[in-house]
């Protein structure tokens, strides 16, 4: 079937490639003419303006917007003015689900149908497929089933959970999760969990990296808690090998562990990374939801706050800790 894609960054461009490989017709638009040209050379219909983009689509149109969360509203406003009742607008980025609820209501007033689709898979999605978490109107979701089916990974070699009644799209890697916002709500929690799992691997591997600190023990320094048993921390552990090992039969085997093994193999000391970890909002929104609900989420919260600290946002707090320690005990910082 035909789909229009606005936004040809890493995600949007590869999704178009996967759709074309699956036999779909794609009309593409991006603020960058080069990005449009590149996909036109691969078989897409390139448009040099939003007007030309909309004109190239058959009604009822399906327009997938794949742009950063912060610019979705502006793009929706522009494209909405060109669409007709019955057309479907899909936001496949990482939008806040509460924005989806509002957008779906606003667009419905003009007879437009809005779907929110949490899209997971990153740069690997072209080959592996994209896990799709879909929210919105049921008829609109059903009409786009061929698109979702092609983008999704498919069952592959992962059999359904034992005892699960056969059928349904979840086992193909896409799911209509509920009404407007439900897709991005589920993606938000997915990313909250992603933060927590990433933090768990990062902390665990860091403790293993430091398993040799007994070799350089500074217990003579009165301002540092003495290492009581330096002899207990004499291990130079092969971190890349351990990641590789755990991928086989261990309880923590997972795709994030596979990626941990990749990262440590490519660059054992990770020297090209500063360690300042960005966040795009999903982790924060997960915590907002947990607080709204009164649902405990200590692990996910800690992992989001850890990212802020990684960027130095705790610098003043740490200085105040030192200052207070000096105030009450005359303790000076170790130089």
Beta strand 62-65 pairing with 2-6: parallel
Q: Which of 331, 149, 132 is nearest to 222 (CA)?
A: 331
Q: Does 100 sit near ligand 6PG (CB under 6 A)?
A: no
Q: Does 10 sit near ligand 6PG (CB under 6 A)?
A: no
Q: Does 275 sit near ligand 6PG (CB under 6 A)?
A: no
Catalytic residues: 187, 194
Q: Does 95 sit near ligand 6PG (CB under 6 A)?
A: no
d(CA 144, CA 136): 12
Among 144, 194, 240, 297, binds ligand 6PG (CB under 6 A): 194
Would you say 216 or 278 has its CB closer to ligand 6PG? 278
Min dist CB 70 to ligand 6PG, Å, is 12
Q: Kindly write out the interface string for residues 144-183 of this chain, putting x where it contacts ligand 6PG by CB under 6 A and - elsewhere.
A: ----------------------------------------
Q: Does 94 sit near ligand 6PG (CB under 6 A)?
A: yes
Q: Does 120 sit near ligand 6PG (CB under 6 A)?
A: yes
Min dist CB 298 to ligand 6PG, Å, is 19
Of 78-86, 229-237, 245-253, 278-286: span binding ligand 6PG (CB under 6 A): 278-286
Min dist CB 86 to ligand 6PG, Å, is 30
Would you say 1 or 256 has its CB closer to ligand 6PG? 256
Q: Does 279 sit near ligand 6PG (CB under 6 A)?
A: yes
Would you say 68 or 146 has its CB closer to ligand 6PG? 68
Would you say 288 or 325 has its CB closer to ligand 6PG? 288
Footprint on residues 31-90 left by ligand 6PG (CB under 6 A)? none
d(CA 52, CA 31): 13
d(CA 97, CA 125): 22
- Contact partners, residue 214, CB within 8 Å, separation at least 6: 227, 229, 230, 231, 232, 233, 234
Would you say 119 or 150 has its CB closer to ligand 6PG? 119
- Contact partners, residue 122, CB within 8 Å, separation at least 6: 10, 11
CB 248, CB 254: distance < 8 Å: no
The residue with its CB nearest to ligand 6PG is 120
In DSSP terms, which residues pair with 115 in a beta bridge? 90, 136
Cβ–Cβ contacts within 10 Å for residue 203, how many? 13
Residue 50 is classified by DSSP as: H
In DSSP terms, which residues pair with 113 in a beta bridge? 88
Alpha helix locations (H) across the chain?
10-21, 33-41, 50-55, 72-80, 97-108, 125-128, 138-143, 145-151, 182-209, 239-246, 255-266, 282-293, 298-310, 315-329
Site residues, ligand 6PG (CB under 6 A): 94, 120-122, 191, 194, 278-280, 282
């Amino acid at each position: 079937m035909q789909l229009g894609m606005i936004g040809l960054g890493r995600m949007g461009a590869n999704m178009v490639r996967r759709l074309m490989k699956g036999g779909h017709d794609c009309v593409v638009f991006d603020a960058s003419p080069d990005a449009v040209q590149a996909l036109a050379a691969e078989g897409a219909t390139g448009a040099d303006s939003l007007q030309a983009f909309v004109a190239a689509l058959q009604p009822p149109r399906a327009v997938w917007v794949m742009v950063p969360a912060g610019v979705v509203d502006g793009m929706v406003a522009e494209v909405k003015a060109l669409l007709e009742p019955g057309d479907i607008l899909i936001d496949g980025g990482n939008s806040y689900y509460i924005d989806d609820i509002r957008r779906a209501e606003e667009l419905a007033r003009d007879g437009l149908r809005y779907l929110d689709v949490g899209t997971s898979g990153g740069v690997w999605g072209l080959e592996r497929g994209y896990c799709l978490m879909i929210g919105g109107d049921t008829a609109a979701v059903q009409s786009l089933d061929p698109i979702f089916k092609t983008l999704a990974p498919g069952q592959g070699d992962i059999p359904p959970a034992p005892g699960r009644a056969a059928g349904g799209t979840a086992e193909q890697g896409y799911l209509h999760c509920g009404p407007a916002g439900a897709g991005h709500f589920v993606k938000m929690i997915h990313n909250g969990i992603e933060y927590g799992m990433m933090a768990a691997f990062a902390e665990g591997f860091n403790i293993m990296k430091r398993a040799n600190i007994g070799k350089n023990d500074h217990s003579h320094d009165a301002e540092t808690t003495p290492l009581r048993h330096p002899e207990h921390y004499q291990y130079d552990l092969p971190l890349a090998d351990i990641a590789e090992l755990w991928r086989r039969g261990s309880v923590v085997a997972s795709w994030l562990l596979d990626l941990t093994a990749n990262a440590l193999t490519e660059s054992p000391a990770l020297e090209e990374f500063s360690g300042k970890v960005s966040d795009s909002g999903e982790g924060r929104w997960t915590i907002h939801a947990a607080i709204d609900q009164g649902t405990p989420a200590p692990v996910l919260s800690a992992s989001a706050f850890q990212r802020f600290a990684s960027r130095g946002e705790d610098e003043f707090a740490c200085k105040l800790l030192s200052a207070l320690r000096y105030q009450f005990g005359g303790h000076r910082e170790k130089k």
